Amino acid sequence: MFPISQLWRYPVKGLSGQPLVSANLSAGAHFPGDRKYAISTGNAKVVDGKWLNKAFFLQLMSYEVLAGIDCNFNMDQTREMIILSCDGKQLLNANMRSDTGRRAISKFFDGLLDGQLRGSAKMVRLNDGAFTDTQGPLISLGGSASLTSFGDLTLTKPDSQRFRLNIIFETSTPFEEAALINKSLAVGDVRLDVIDLIGRCAAIDVDPETGERGPNYLKIMEEAFGHTALGIFARVTQGGTISLGDKLAVLP
């Protein structure tokens, strides 16, 4: 059994995440509240309610300055507030659910990335789905030993935000979660079908705290590990609440 040690959602694609104590998963759905919002790089094709691939949106891989903005979230049934700050100074507090709030956020990132975008930034929202790299309703999981092994190899801090995983569970052997492919997992009443490994891209080169860009970590991973995957995708087949400390069990 694998104890859950971290739960994360990333309300806005490309920005820092929000640690959770628990999450209510639904069958056939993304991780709740994850990448519900995204900010365009100025392409007119970007509109509310339409999924597009990551090239249309701000992402740390291309705009490492995003790492310098601290994000906090206050999300409930009526409001979805984002609080942006830098070096302890609050820069913006806006309700992402409102048109006014999204316009204010868009204006902020226009100023931050002045001259770097192809047009005006625009924050958009998906009512159903998520602006994840894979459009299908999958959640992401990873083992703690894999994060530690990557950190040891690259001399970086083991930081789940570098890989934007929703669920981190305790493991003793690096990449042992790969053995869970095509297996089903149980967490209380929740059921997950593990689908595939998560192949990584150059986004992992950027330190999520400092914005500093490291060397080609994909090449380093390939040479050291023989692969460039970290984490697994799973589909929720039966919903319910999961919490820190709950244990993932492999079903026979």
Going from N- to C-terminal start, the domains of the chain cover 2-30+133-250, 37-125
Helices (H), the chain: 99-112, 144-154, 217-225
What pLDDT, on the 0 to 100 scale, is given for residue 37?
96
What pLDDT, on the 0 to 100 scale, is given for residue 13?
95
Looking at domain 2-30+133-250, what is its CATH homologous superfamily? Answer: PK beta-barrel domain-like (2.40.33.20)
Nearest CA to 181 among 219, 215, 227? 227
Question: What confidence tens digit (pLDDT) does each residue in 31-46 have?
Answer: 999 999 999 998 989 9
Nearest CA to 56 among 111, 104, 118, 137? 118
Q: Which percentage of the chain shows pLDDT scores above 70?
A: 100
Helices (H), 74-216: 99-112, 144-154
Question: How many of the other CB atoms lie within 10 Å of CB of 143?
Answer: 26
138 band by pLDDT with thresholds 50, 70 and 90:
very high
pLDDT higher at 203 or 249: 249
What pLDDT, on the 0 to 100 scale, is given for residue 49?
93
Question: What confidence tens digit (pLDDT) does each residue in 70-126 have?
Answer: 999 988 777 899 999 988 899 999 999 999 999 999 999 999 998 899 899 999 999
Instruction: Name residues whose C-beta falls within 8 Å of residue 103's C-beta, 6 or more positions apart in sequence.
Output: 123
Q: Tell me the pLDDT of the chain averaged across its residues.
A: 94
Tokens at 15, concatenated: 């920005």
- If DSSP codes are grouped into helix, strand and coil, which group holds residue 156? coil
Quote the CA–CA distance of 79 and 95 in Å, as a whole number: 6
Q: Work out the average pLDDT over 248-252.
A: 95
Question: What confidence tens digit (pLDDT) does each residue in 183-224 have?
Answer: 999 999 999 999 999 999 988 998 888 888 889 999 999 999
First to last CA, the chain: 13
Question: What confidence tens digit (pLDDT) does each residue in 1-20 have?
Answer: 899 999 999 999 999 999 99
What pLDDT, on the 0 to 100 scale, is given for residue 159?
87
Does residue 150 carry a pLDDT above 90?
Answer: yes
What pLDDT, on the 0 to 100 scale, is given for residue 210?
82
Does residue 251 carry a pLDDT above 90?
Answer: yes
What pLDDT, on the 0 to 100 scale, is given for residue 160?
87
Q: Work out the average pLDDT over 163-171.
A: 96
What pLDDT, on the 0 to 100 scale, is given for residue 171?
97
What pLDDT, on the 0 to 100 scale, is given for residue 76?
79
Strands annotated E in the chain: 2-9, 18-20, 22-25, 37-39, 70-75, 80-86, 89-95, 123-125, 139-143, 167-169, 184-187, 190-199, 229-238, 240-243, 247-250
Quote the CA–CA distance of 85 and 137 in Å, as a whole number: 31
Q: Work out the average pLDDT over 43-59.
A: 93
Q: What's the one-letter identity of residue 38?
A: A
